[in-house]
């Protein structure tokens, strides 16, 4: 590893965009995260919780078009939140909603975002924007959660827990889409992933 990877050069490129220490848990050092990422890619290592979520998702018939993606997050409490993709949500979207439910003490079965809002957005993506994928990425999910605050007390309580996720560790069984990456970055999460794309359509920007 020391012979083939130019650590100083990579650190210099990534450091300006890497999360900075502030409130909450401090981020893991950029070089350490890089080394973990390289090891995972080279030796096909995966986060056990994410892989377990993937296995459960397959058993429960989750996923879209027979493609199941999963993600896991270690909460500040030490608990592990997980999420799988579905026709309505990306795995990262399900993950974050499940994580804030745990922190807010909300039952797992509660819908933080009313189905009518989700259906309205997915219909817009499908019928107006002509998107290939209509499930909500994390950026879209966070916007829907913000909209739900006005009419849903659970959504308000859950969204207030979002800052507590800053600096938490996330592992995904796939490379996040641009919309997911954007949301994960805004939440200041430390993310690693397996070197797999969630779809064969590599030009899908969602």
Q: Quick check: 174 and 128 in contact, CB under 8 A?
A: no
Closest CA to 73 of 196, 161, 172, 175: 172
Tell me what the mean pLDDT of segment 110-114 comes to: 94
Only one residue has tokens 């199941």, namely: 68
In terms of pLDDT, which residue wins out, 16 or 197?
16
Asked if pLDDT for residue 105 goes beyond 80, the answer is: yes
- Split at pLDDT 50, 70, 90, the class of 135 is confident
Tell me what the mean pLDDT of segment 80-100 comes to: 92
Q: How many CB atoms lie within 10 A of CB 51?
A: 15
What is the overall mean pLDDT for the chain?
81
Minimum mean pLDDT among 51-55, 111-115, 171-175, 201-205: which range?
Answer: 201-205
Q: What's the pLDDT tens digit per position in 115-131?
A: 889 888 988 888 888 87
% of the chain exceeding 70 in pLDDT: 74
Those residues with Cβ within 8 angstroms of residue 37's Cβ, 6 or more apart along the chain or in another chain: 192
**So what's the pLDDT on residue 203?**
44
Asked if pLDDT for residue 149 goes beyond 60, the answer is: yes
- Which H helix or E strand runs over 172? strand 169-172
Tell me what the mean pLDDT of segment 55-84 comes to: 77
Q: How many CB atoms lie within 10 A of CB 11?
A: 14
**So what's the pLDDT on residue 8?**
83
Minimum mean pLDDT among 7-11, 163-167, 182-186, 193-197: which range?
Answer: 193-197
**So what's the pLDDT on residue 39?**
58
In terms of pLDDT, which residue wins out, 80 or 33?
80
Asked if pLDDT for residue 206 goes beyond 90, the answer is: no
Tell me what the mean pLDDT of segment 39-56 comes to: 60
DSSP helix/strand/coil, 5: coil
In terms of pLDDT, which residue wins out, 1 or 164?
164
**127 exposure class (CB count in 10 Å sphere: 0-12, 13-18, 19+):** exposed
**So what's the pLDDT on residue 142?**
96
Asked if pLDDT for residue 64 goes beyond 80, the answer is: no
Of the candidate CATH numbers 2.160.10.10, 3.30.450.60, 3.40.640.10, 3.40.140.40, the domain formed by 7-193 belongs to 3.40.140.40
């Amino acid at each position: 590893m020391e012979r083939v990877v130019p650590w100083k050069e990579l650190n210099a490129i990534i450091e300006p965009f890497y999360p900075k220490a502030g409130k909450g848990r401090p981020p893991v050092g950029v070089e350490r995260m890089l080394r973990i990422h390289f090891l995972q890619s080279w030796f096909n290592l995966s986060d056990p919780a994410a892989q377990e979520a993937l296995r459960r998702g397959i058993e429960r018939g989750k996923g879209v078009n027979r493609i199941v993606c999963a993600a896991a997050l270690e909460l500040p409490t030490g608990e592990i939140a997980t999420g799988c993709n579905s026709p309505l949500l990306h795995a990262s979207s399900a993950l974050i909603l499940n994580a804030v439910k745990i922190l807010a003490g909300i039952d797992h079965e509660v819908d933080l975002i009313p189905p009518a809002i989700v259906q309205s957005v997915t219909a817009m993506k499908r019928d107006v924007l002509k998107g290939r994928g209509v499930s909500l990425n994390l950026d879209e999910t966070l916007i829907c959660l913000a909209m739900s605050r006005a009419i849903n007390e659970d959504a308000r309580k859950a969204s207030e827990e979002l800052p507590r996720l800053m600096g938490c560790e996330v592992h995904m069984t796939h490379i996040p889409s641009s919309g997911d990456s954007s949301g994960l970055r805004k939440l200041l999460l430390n993310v690693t992933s397996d070197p797999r794309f969630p779809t064969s359509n590599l030009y899908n920007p969602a």
